[in-house]
Amino acid sequence: MARFIVVHDVAVEEMSQDQLVDLAKQVAARLKPGMEWISSWYTPEANKLFCEWEAPDEEAIRAALGEALKVYPIEIIHSVIYINPAWYREQS
């Protein structure tokens, strides 16, 4: 699977934690086999959400997001290559 970073504009100012959890469950239910929503980071000062995905392509991510796109529209999707800092540490 390819890896992606999806940058979202946060379109709403406030949602309850329950609403956010319900939205995340909807996204999880729409994942194709082998897809994974790995993690997310939110930057309040920029009102952006950065989400890391493994997916076959960008369209699979868009399809999985479904209704969430109304709340978190996509600004851009970057195809990325994973680099683990542990790879550079010296081995004993």
Comparing CA positions, the residue from 52, 51, 56, 53 lying closest to residue 33 is: 56
CB 63 within 8 A of CB 54: no
Three-class DSSP category at 60:
helix
Q: Which contiguous run of DSSP H or E holds residue 23?
A: helix 17-29
pLDDT category at 92 given cuts 50, 70, 90 is low
CB 66 within 8 A of CB 22: no
2-88 CATH, one of 3.40.50.720, 3.30.70.3090, 3.40.50.10490, 3.30.470.20:
3.30.70.3090
pTM value is: 0.83
Q: Taking the domains of the chain in order of start, what are their residue ranges?
A: 2-88
Full strand arrangement of the beta sheet holding 48-55: 36-43, 48-55, 2-9, 74-80
Note the pLDDT tens digit of each residue in 16-67.
778 878 888 999 999 999 999 999 998 888 888 999 999 999 999 999 999 8
